[in-house]
Amino acid sequence: MVVAGGIVAGGLALTGCGSSDASGSSGSSAAELSVKAAYMPQPVTDSMAAGYLVIENKGGAADELTSVTSDLAQDVTVHETAGQAMKQVSALQVPAGGELVLRSGGSHLMFENLKRKPKEGETVSLRLNFIKSKAITVEMPVKSATYQPTTGH
Amino acid sequence: MHTNTKMTKNTKDARKSRQTYAVGALLVAAILGLSACGSEDASTTSVVEVSETGATKVSTVLDEPFAKPDLVLTDTEGKPYDLRKETKGKPTLIYFGYTNCPDVCPLTMNNIAVAKKEVSKKLPKSELANLRIVFVTTDPERDTPAELGKWLKGIDPEIVGLTGDFDKIQAGALELHISIAPPTKDENGKTVSEHGTQVIAFSPKTDAGYVLYDKSATVQDYEKDLPKLLKGAKP
């Protein structure tokens, strides 16, 4: 399997401060993906917004998040944070038996040129596309601009 | 950079790219504890260690406070703003970021703005009147006075937004031990900018930067500390 090195590093660093490498994904069972803890902080303007979520993989094979579409914006990209800069990446790995964590300060979804400015209490529809698994539709709740999930690291 | 490089799963190599970056940001990372978890390389050990302690401690009182940078930039009205002159004797919070930043920059500024609002419910107006919250852009090309003003209006119109010559901003940031690289274009032609990771609080008594807040500081952290920062006291 071919993956982008930088992405793996970003993904691994996020998933877990020392979680095991995903390279043991030689099992024959498929990826079993589910999404949790999705939210979008209410954005400042209608020019951009960020979205966060956790993709859990209970299966024995890794998968990759390749693209995201949404009713909120034409342009949704996946970014990883490298130090203080954010870079667009082409895919993020969801390790076998692990999770891909998109969280504030780490990798995140970036929505640009919004069709509307989402407000706290609304939801934004997303469709996550993967290399192997079927696409997953997510209703992402819009939280306050200062919302921080209580669980996590 | 490395984001489009196709290679087999070799986290060592990948780490190397992260590490190269980490060295550039080491100074900042050492103070702040950037999100460097996961790396076991000896050369980044110190970063990891700080990161670990940083998780529980969001603020650091400096033994040797920073002098306020002598920065004269342009405010959101397009007028010159002399940082030292305008904030002299006033409790001041400074952050370096950019408006095309969906994640950390708006969160940081919103955290401070909401904390200020909460504190204003408890303290007399006069105590908060002197507070200066200053947002200095790290992406002056895109963050014109008008763009900055529009963005800050969505957070707290009282925040001072400053833009100007990048080299000047970079030098000012470096005096506060914040290293910021100039914006670059990625392979898709999109601008990639950097933001600082900490907020620096300056004392109204000494005009020196004496407390650092890292990016994990929450509304509650600022809310708790603001009454002390307003007096130049240690949180």
Residues 41-100 of A with CB under 8 A from B: 41, 43-45, 47-50, 80-90
Please state the φ and ψ torsions of residue B96, each to the nearest 5 degrees. Answer: -110, 120
| Conformational region of residue B81, where left means phi above 0, alpha means psi within -120 to 50, and beta covers everything else | beta
Quick check: A70 and A116 in contact, CB under 8 A? no
The candidate with the shortest Cα–Cα distance to B54, out of B232, B222, B215, B187, is B215
Q: How far is CA A144 from the centre of its chain?
A: 19
Domain regions of chain B by residue span: 2-54, 59-229
SS (H, E, C) A60-93: CCCEEEEEEEECCEEEEEEEEEECCEEEEECCEE
With beta carbons under 8 A apart, name residues in chain A contacting B24. 83
Contact list in B for residue A87 (CB cut-off 8 A) is: 1, 3, 186, 192
| Assigned architecture for domain B59-229 | 3-Layer(aba) Sandwich (3.40)
Q: What type of residue is B71?
A: L
Q: For B11, which of A9, A17, A44 is closest by C-beta distance?
A: A9
Q: How far apart are CA A16 and CA A19, in angstroms?
A: 5
- The domain spans of chain A are 5-12+33-143
Question: Is the dihedral angle over the CA atoms B12, B3, B199, A119 positive or is it negative?
Answer: negative
Q: B106 in contact with A at a CB cutoff of 8 Å? A: yes
> Quick check: B157 contacting A, CB < 8 Å?
no
Chain A residues in contact with B5 by the CB 8 A cut-off are 4-6
Dump pLDDT digits (tens) for B151-163: 999 999 999 999 9
* Chain A residue nearest residue B191, CA to CA: A87
Q: Do B39 and A13 touch (CB under 8 A)?
A: yes
- Most confident range, picked from A135-139, B97-101, B213-217: A135-139
Q: Which residue has the higher pLDDT, A129 or A88?
A: A129
pLDDT range class, residue A84, cuts 50, 70, 90: low
Q: Average pLDDT over chain A, rounded to whole? A: 81
| Residue B148 contacts A where some CB pair is shorter than 8 Å | no
Is it the case that residue A46 has pLDDT exceeding 80? yes
Q: Does the beta carbon of A143 lie under 8 angstroms from any beta carbon of chain B? A: no
Q: Where are the beta strands (DSSP E) in chain B?
A: 6-7, 59-66, 72-74, 80-82, 92-97, 132-137, 160-162, 184-185, 191-192, 199-202, 209-213
What pLDDT does residue B27 have? 38
Per-residue confidence at B72, pLDDT binned at 50, 70, 90? very high
Cβ separation A145–B193 shorter than 8 A: no
Q: Would you tell me which CATH number, out of the four given (3.40.640.10, 2.60.40.1890, 2.60.120.330, 1.50.40.10), belongs to the domain A5-12+33-143? A: 2.60.40.1890
Q: Determine the 3-state secondary structure of B151 from DSSP.
A: helix
Which of A1-10, B98-107, B217-226 has the lowest average pLDDT? Answer: A1-10
Partner-chain contact B3 A85, CB within 8 Å: no
CB atoms within 10 A of CB A103: 20
How far is the alpha carbon of B91 from chain A, nearest alpha carbon, in Å? Answer: 23
In angstroms, the Cα distances linking B90 to B85, B118, B129 are 10, 20, 9
- The DSSP call for residue B4 is G
Q: How far apart are CA B111 and CA B71, in angstroms?
A: 25
Can you give the pLDDT at residue B133? Answer: 98
Contact by Cβ (8 Å): A68, A127: yes
The whole-angstrom separation of Cα B132 and Cα B173 is 17
Between chain A and chain B, how many beta carbons pairs sit less than 8 Å apart?
Answer: 150
